[in-house]
Amino acid sequence: AQSVTQLDSHVSVSEGTPVLLRCNYSSSYSPSLFWYVQHPNKGLQLLLKYTSAATLVKGINGFEAEFKKSETSFHLTKPSAHMSDAAEYFCAVSSFSSASKIIFGSGTRLSIRP
């Protein structure tokens, strides 16, 4: 079965400093991995996805993530945080072995200090 673990429930950084949101995955198959963002009272928006092409994936709004099979990790990074980045971030995994459902982690709340 597929699963993801988000290692931090809350991350706080200062505006202009780097962001690191950590995610480890577990999958019996070659996984597809995703990062979604959710702003308050909104649905989820796809930031980026990994589907076995390049291990470094670039997404929207300056975010990127690196797939590391040896570490079973898919951490999300951004070089310089902006106030508008404050939101909830979800790591997710899917497998094409069955129903192609996406399994989400429990989320990391990102706060940005002025």
Partner 1 sequence: ETGVTQSPTHLIKTRGQQVTLRCSSQSGHNTVSWYQQALGQGPQFIFQYYREEENGRGNFPPRFSGLQFPNYSSELNVNALELDDSALYLCASSVGGTGELFFGEGSRLTVL
Contact residues toward partner 1 (CB under 8 A) are 32, 34, 36, 41-46, 49, 51, 90, 94, 96, 98-107
Complex with partner 1: residue 15 or 88, whichever CB lies closer = 88
H/E stretch holding 76 reads strand 73-78
Q: Cβ(109)–Cβ(92) under 8 Å? A: no
Q: Which residue has the tokens 């995955």?
A: 25
Name the minimum Å distance from CB 55 to partner 1.
17
Name the minimum Å distance from CB 79 to partner 1.
25
Q: In angstroms, rounded to a whole number, what is the distance separating the alpha carbons of residues 12 and 112?
A: 6
Read off the amino acid at residue 94: S
Complex with partner 1: residue 28 or 70, whichever CB lies closer = 28
Complex with partner 1: residue 32 or 73, whichever CB lies closer = 32
